[in-house]
């Protein structure tokens, strides 16, 4: 029986290590498809259009909203970010587990639209370590880092909406843990409704045969 993939939402404070973890996950395990979002934020040094994000103007982004091209979108620190619909639907239908690395407003919208999505929240082991990672990444000014740490305070209020908290201390251990959580999620009854219906239908047949 061919299974539909799971929609996996990964959120976490900026600098928690989400991007690094996703890269590790996709490299180490099969069957994951990483959704590439569209954004109006400018590329960081080293980022490539179509790889980390599709970088577009505000006008283009707003046109895509009007065309209903996003599964969800949100504003974060003054920029738009959104998940293109077509890729996600195609990969889920192929049986891939699709990972959306998105912030909390988008995550909550996904949960409303797709109640069987799996929501994971990644944190570093401490906020001191978060500051170290943000500074060490060397991609953002002190003002941007300050903005992102303020935003982290707001995001921390929503952690209980997620299914699991994943602490990114050792990178390999964390990627392995995330993989296990996603694989185990495949066994939840809410993600096996077709199979359960099939088993029930077979039991009904059996009962009818005995009547």
Q: Which residues bind ligand ADP (CB under 6 A)?
A: 12, 14-20, 133, 136-137, 168, 171
Secondary element (H or E) of residue 145: helix 142-156
In the complex, least distance from residue 116 CB atom to ligand 5GP, rounded to whole angstroms: 19
3-state secondary structure 189-211: HHHCHHHHHHHHHHHHHHHHHHC
Q: Closest-CB residue for ligand 5GP?
A: 106
Residues 41-70 that bind ligand 5GP (CB under 6 A): 41
**Which of residues 7, 9, 21, 74 is near ligand 5GP by CB under 6 A?**
74
**Which of residues 7, 9, 22, 37 is near ligand 5GP by CB under 6 A?**
37
Whole-number CA gyration radius for the chain: 19
CA separation for the pair 40, 121 (Å, rounded): 24
Task: List Cβ neighbours of 151 (8 Å cut-off, separation of 6 or more).
Answer: 13, 14, 76, 77
In the complex, least distance from residue 191 CB atom to ligand 5GP, rounded to whole angstroms: 23
Which partner from the list ligand ADP, ligand 5GP, none does 168 bind, CB cut-off 5 to 8 Å by kind? ligand ADP
Are 6 and 97 spatial neighbours (Cβ–Cβ below 8 Å)?
A: yes
* CA-CA-CA-CA dihedral for 84, 156, 118, 165, to nearest 10: 140
Q: Token pair of 72, please?
A: 């969800």
Per-residue contact track with ligand 5GP, 149 to 178, x per CB under 6 A? ------------------------------
Q: Closest-CB residue for ligand ADP?
A: 17
DSSP string, 111-136: HHH-TT-EEEEEE-S-HHHHHHHHHH
In the complex, least distance from residue 157 CB atom to ligand ADP, rounded to whole angstroms: 18
Q: Token pair of 101, please?
A: 């690395």
Query: Is residue 102 part of the contact set for ligand 5GP (CB under 6 A)?
Result: yes
Which partner from the list ligand 5GP, ligand ADP, none does 61 bind, CB cut-off 5 to 8 Å by kind? none
| Other beta carbons within 10 Å of 69 | 16
Q: Which residues bind ligand 5GP (CB under 6 A)?
A: 14, 37, 41, 72-74, 76, 81-83, 101-103, 105-106
């Amino acid at each position: 029986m061919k299974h539909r993939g799971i929609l996996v939402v990964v959120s976490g404070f900026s600098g928690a290590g989400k991007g690094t973890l996703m890269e590790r996950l996709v490299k180490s395990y099969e069957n994951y498809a990483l959704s590439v979002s569209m954004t109006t934020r400018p590329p960081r040094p080293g980022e490539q259009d179509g790889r980390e994000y599709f970088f577009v103007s505000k006008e283009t982004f707003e046109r895509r909203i009007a065309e209903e091209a996003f599964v969800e979108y949100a504003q974060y620190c003054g920029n738009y970010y959104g998940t293109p619909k077509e890729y996600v639907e195609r990969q889920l239908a192929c049986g891939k587990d699709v990972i959306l690395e998105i912030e909390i407003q988008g995550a909550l919208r996904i949960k409303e639209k797709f109640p069987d999505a799996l929501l994971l929240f990644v944190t570093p082991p401490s906020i001191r370590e978060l500051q170290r990672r943000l500074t060490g990444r060397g991609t953002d000014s002190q003002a941007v880092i300050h903005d992102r740490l303020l935003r982290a305070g707001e995001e921390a209020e929503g952690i209980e909406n997620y299914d699991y908290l994943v602490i990114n201390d050792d990178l390999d251990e964390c990627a392995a843990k995330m993989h296990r959580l996603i694989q185990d999620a495949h066994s939840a009854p809410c993600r096996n409704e077709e199979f359960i219906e099939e088993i029930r239908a077979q039991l009904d047949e059996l009962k009818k045969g005995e009547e």
